[in-house]
Amino acid sequence: MNSSEKKKQKEAFKAAYINKIEEVSGDCLAESSVLKQYQALAELVMDDITTQWAKSNTKYNKHQNKQVYFFSIEFLIGRLLKSYINNLGLEDIVTESLKELGLDFTAIQEQESDPGLGNGGLGRLMACYLDSSAAMDMPAHGNGIRYKYGLFEQRIINGEQVEVADNWLRNGYPFEIRKPDKAVIIKFGGTIHSEKINGNLTFVHENYEPILAVPYDIPVKGYHNETVNSLRLWSAETLEDFDLPKFNQGQFLDAVRHKSEAESISQILYPNDNGFDGKLLRLKQEYFFVCAGLKRIVRRYKQFNNNSMDGFSQKICIHINDTHPAMCGPELMRILMDEEGFGWDDAWKMTVESISFTNHTVLPEALEKWPVSMMKSLLPRIYMIIEEINQRFTQEIYAKYPHDMERNYGLSIINNDQIHMASLAIVASHSINGVAELHSKILREETFKGFYQVFPERFHSVTNGVTPRRFLMNSNPDLKDLLNESIGTQWQGNLFELKRLLNYLNDPIFSDKFNAVKLSNKIRLAEHIKKHNNLIVDPASVFDIQVKRIHAYKRQLLDALHVLYLYNQLKENPHLEIAPRTFIFAGKAAPGYYYAKQIIRLINAIAKMVNSDKTLNEKIRVVFLENFNVSLAEIIYPAANVSEQISTAGKEASGTGNMKFMMNGAITLGTMDGANIEIAEAVGPTNIVTFGLSSDEVSQYEKYGGYRSIDIYEKDPRIQQVMHQLIDGTLGFGLNFQNIYDSLLLHNDTYFVLKDFNAYVDAQNRVDQLYRNERTWTKMSMTNIAHSGMFSSDRSILDYQREIWKII
């Protein structure tokens, strides 16, 4: 674009924008609030996108390309305005125009609520996959729930987590389109009886409670292309707002109660990450979006296929994100048999051929098991189908392995009056995959060993990835510019091209610029810390960061105990030579997870003690940032020097934060777990710091009931000191962390914190040494970025296309 063209475009944009502001606010630009400025900009952007959206949909309908649908109970999409603008290629036009109008683009963007429709890794992964699919012109769509309240907002009050409702729809949401004309009815409860209709045995569902599912569609705009896919989120409503008979009888409250009971289905996201609690409402949520999504997919398919289901499984992929949508199997069977008239065998073939399944965790407490009684009464027809799936499957297995009753029993989908959703998902799909190589290996050899023996060909592995648009280009624009001016722009289309950066490893001018970018990102984070924590941190210090959900297996505790140990060292020897460090933590704890909340309290107690101790010469600082979400993450990753990825080996399926840090030049300090292993392979042993037990060692100990933590404690005075400090009042008057203490010593340290402590301290010392050699550190940092191509979600999507959906 030459400069006169650009000028023209900017003038056109400004005129349209001023118009829009008047339209949405009734005020002129000068009088308008920042909120209205945001809403006007959002609408203007939507006008552009919806035109392309309609074109994309027409194309999909005409050409009948294979469509992928991600079924997921979470989509953690983050703010969209900037991402839309950049994907439309309007970055410069908008930025410059707003500046010329005297407006603050950053403040405008901050008006957008950050939809917290997910807990963590699983939900964010879906958002990255939607972004990558659209960027690569692939028809893939999301199907989920439009929660009225997303994940709670976290406040830290007196060092403790306090939860506040996340009313993200407060000011409306400009990027969704409500489609009441595409609503469907979902049936809960009631009874099933069979009838002969026209000589065919038919199942009739009676006395059920009908709930209306209304879709809201959000466009998923591809990067610099014409593709716009859809994220469809379902909202629960009553069929009639009031139950009229009851209303007429004067039972007004009863009538309204029905409305609120119906709406409760999409009222709130369950805040559990990796912990199953078998609540009825959650089961309703799961069936709700599964049923609504599948009904619409079948309807659309027939609409553009001469009212026929022929070829369905060649054209439709139903990809289920963990087991929460595992009822896709039985529900698709129900639709095919009861509504489309297929017999069992044909319906089964179509079902298995269209469904694929990704597992995201091996923690036993996260595996979903629904009581038979609950399933039977809430979803009687689905239960019948699950029973029959299981009967046919177990019969096959018994025939195949007649002498191995014990293992056959273990494969049964229904066991001890519980329905094992992972088993259902495996049996009803043609593919199951783990999310990193180690994770997939553990699935094959441990978690789903029996199934692997029956269906070896179904098992795959696709390592997770993250979108470089959001987590590099948009959140680290200075790095983007520096890369463009040095290695060209090809990397934006193919992240493997970042390898060209290796040519600059010994270029002092580049290195200086590179370090300047990191420093300015650290200054931005330091400003955030000043504003929110009222604490001054030194941007020249090492920014050592652990941000993720708080969970025992992720071992924020190990990080915290090391800080405490370092504090003790400095107290003993104030002249200890270390590079000054700022330890930064953020993350939410599930509201009912007491232990995790105690960890937050502990970190804040340590922070208070360390930050107020003048004798430390500001060599260490500790920060807990409240309310970790996608928007905050975008400020954090670009500012990191050290990426803490220290889960007990074998427990973190993949991790994706590790990739976001790496892409922004942080050095991983990690265990050989999840995708850390692949990061280590990609960068080589000199560009990562690893430590600790391997997953084999962990499982060896576990086989024999764990290890004896007391032995380690007794031998190590350093450990004794930090352990005592948990309970002796060091951390503040009345602050006692007895239950953390007990978990480590009395309950035998389930996650090997003390076992790995020494190795971790050594690794931290190595980090210190490396950082103090600036040349070395800069090279390591650049090397990490150069090898991050493999961790783009574009690569992951290509793997899925090739291995699982068989599109290319």
Catalytic residue among 444, 660, 779, 795: 660
- Minimum Å gap between C-beta 699 and ligand 26W is 17
Which of 116, 120, 222, 465: binder of ligand 26W (CB under 6 A)? Answer: 120
Give the C-alpha separation, 325 to 356, whole Å. 11
The piece of 7-15, 270-278, 481-489, 748-756 that touches ligand 26W (CB under 6 A) is 270-278
Binding to ligand 26W (CB under 6 A) within 312-341 occurs at 322
Give the C-alpha separation, 25 to 435, whole Å. 47
Q: Using the rule CB under 6 A, is 276 a contact of ligand 26W?
A: yes
How is 719-773 classified by DSSP, letter by letter?
HHHHHHHHHSSTTSTT---HHHHHHHHTS--TT-HHHHHHHHHHHHHHHHHHHHS
- Minimum Å gap between C-beta 372 and ligand 26W is 18
Which of 79, 258, 295, 360: binder of ligand 26W (CB under 6 A)? Answer: 360
Catalytic residue among 146, 420, 518, 548: 548
Collapsing DSSP to helix, strand or coil, 665 comes out as coil
Contact characters 188-227, ligand 26W, x per CB under 6 A: ----------------------------------------
Instruction: Give the residue with the Cβ less far from ligand 26W, 120 or 380.
Output: 120
Residue 607's Cβ-side half-sphere holds a number of Cα atoms within 13 Å equal to 24
Give the C-alpha separation, 368 to 272, whole Å. 12
Q: Which of 806, 798, 797, 716 is nearest to 755 (CA)?
A: 716
Q: Which of 130, 135, 154, 137 is nearest to 70 (CA)?
A: 130
Residue that has been written with the tokens 């503040």 in this structure: 732
Q: Using the rule CB under 6 A, is 361 a contact of ligand 26W?
A: yes
Give the C-alpha separation, 96 to 91, whole Å. 8
Q: Distance between alpha carbon 365 and the CA centroid of its chain, in Å?
A: 19
Give the C-alpha separation, 581 to 564, whole Å. 13
Q: Using the rule CB under 6 A, is 464 a contact of ligand 26W?
A: yes
The piece of 274-282, 307-315, 384-392, 415-423 that touches ligand 26W (CB under 6 A) is 274-282
Give the C-alpha separation, 475 to 467, whole Å. 11
Q: Using the rule CB under 6 A, is 125 a contact of ligand 26W?
A: yes
With beta carbons less than 8 A apart as the criterion, state whether 433 and 451 touch. no
Q: Using the rule CB under 6 A, is 678 a contact of ligand 26W?
A: no
The piece of 267-275, 566-574, 732-740, 790-798 that touches ligand 26W (CB under 6 A) is 267-275
- Minimum Å gap between C-beta 807 and ligand 26W is 21
Instruction: Give the residue with the Cβ less far from ligand 26W, 45 or 265.
Output: 265
Q: Based on the residue annotation, tell me whether 10 is a catalytic residue of this protein.
A: no
With beta carbons less than 8 A apart as the criterion, state whether 296 and 279 touch. no
Q: Using the rule CB under 6 A, is 801 a contact of ligand 26W?
A: no
Sign of CA dihedral 463, 656, 645, 362: negative
Instruction: Give the residue with the Cβ less far from ligand 26W, 125 or 698.
Output: 125
Report how many residues bind ligand 26W under the rule CB under 6 A: 23
Residue 248: exposure state from Cβ atoms within 10 A (0-12, 13-18, ≥19): exposed
Helix axes 753-772, 717-727, angle to 10 degrees: 110
- Note the residue count of the chain: 808
Instruction: Give the residue with the Cβ less far from ligand 26W, 366 or 735.
Output: 366
Residue of closest CB approach to ligand 26W: 121
Q: Which of 247, 178, 248, 189 is nearest to 213 (CA)?
A: 178
Q: Using the rule CB under 6 A, is 435 a contact of ligand 26W?
A: yes
- Minimum Å gap between C-beta 764 and ligand 26W is 23
Give the C-alpha separation, 572 to 561, whole Å. 17
Q: Which of 651, 751, 650, 760 is nearest to 709 (CA)?
A: 751
Q: Using the rule CB under 6 A, is 122 a contact of ligand 26W?
A: yes
The piece of 266-274, 304-312, 527-535, 588-596 that touches ligand 26W (CB under 6 A) is 266-274
Q: Which residues of 561-579 are buried (b: 16+ CB within 10 A; e: fewer)?
A: bbbbbbbebbeeeeeeebb
Q: Using the rule CB under 6 A, is 674 a contact of ligand 26W?
A: yes
Give the C-alpha separation, 673 to 690, whole Å. 10
Instruction: Give the residue with the Cβ less far from ligand 26W, 131 or 176.
Output: 131
Q: Using the rule CB under 6 A, is 665 a contact of ligand 26W?
A: no
Q: Using the rule CB under 6 A, is 465 a contact of ligand 26W?
A: no
Q: Which of 794, 804, 696 is nearest to 66 (CA)?
A: 804
Q: Based on the residue annotation, tell me whether 549 is a catalytic residue of this protein.
A: yes
Q: Based on the residue annotation, tell me whether 660 is a catalytic residue of this protein.
A: yes
Q: Using the rule CB under 6 A, is 272 a contact of ligand 26W?
A: yes
Which of 166, 368, 559, 756: binder of ligand 26W (CB under 6 A)? Answer: 368
Q: Using the rule CB under 6 A, is 793 a contact of ligand 26W?
A: no
Q: Which of 548, 552, 579 is nearest to 644 (CA)?
A: 548
Which of 442, 495, 653, 744: binder of ligand 26W (CB under 6 A)? Answer: 653
Instruction: Give the residue with the Cβ less far from ligand 26W, 94 or 798.
Output: 798
Q: Using the rule CB under 6 A, is 656 a contact of ligand 26W?
A: yes
* Secondary structure letter of residue 554 according to DSSP: G
Which of 634, 652, 678, 756: binder of ligand 26W (CB under 6 A)? Answer: 652
Instruction: Give the residue with the Cβ less far from ligand 26W, 174 or 271.
Output: 271
Which of 329, 655, 670, 692: binder of ligand 26W (CB under 6 A)? Answer: 655
- Minimum Å gap between C-beta 300 and ligand 26W is 28
The piece of 116-124, 229-237, 681-689, 781-789 that touches ligand 26W (CB under 6 A) is 116-124
Give the chain's count of helices (H) and strands (E): 33, 23
Q: Using the rule CB under 6 A, is 36 a contact of ligand 26W?
A: no
Q: Read off the tokens for 189.
A: 């409860």
Give the C-alpha separation, 228 to 353, whole Å. 26
Q: Read off the tokens for 311.
A: 């070829």
Q: Based on the residue annotation, tell me whether 63 is a catalytic residue of this protein.
A: no
Q: Which of 579, 485, 547, 504 is nearest to 785 (CA)?
A: 504
Catalytic residue among 146, 148, 319, 360: 360
The piece of 48-56, 268-276, 600-608, 789-797 that touches ligand 26W (CB under 6 A) is 268-276
Q: Based on the residue annotation, tell me whether 257 is a catalytic residue of this protein.
A: no
| N-to-C CA span, the chain | 35
Catalytic residue among 20, 79, 420, 549: 549
Q: Based on the residue annotation, tell me whether 360 is a catalytic residue of this protein.
A: yes
Catalytic residue among 656, 690, 778, 783: 656
| Residues catalogued as catalytic | 360, 548-549, 554, 656, 660
Binding site for ligand 26W (CB under 6 A): 119-122, 125, 272-276, 322, 360-361, 366, 368, 435, 464, 652-656, 674
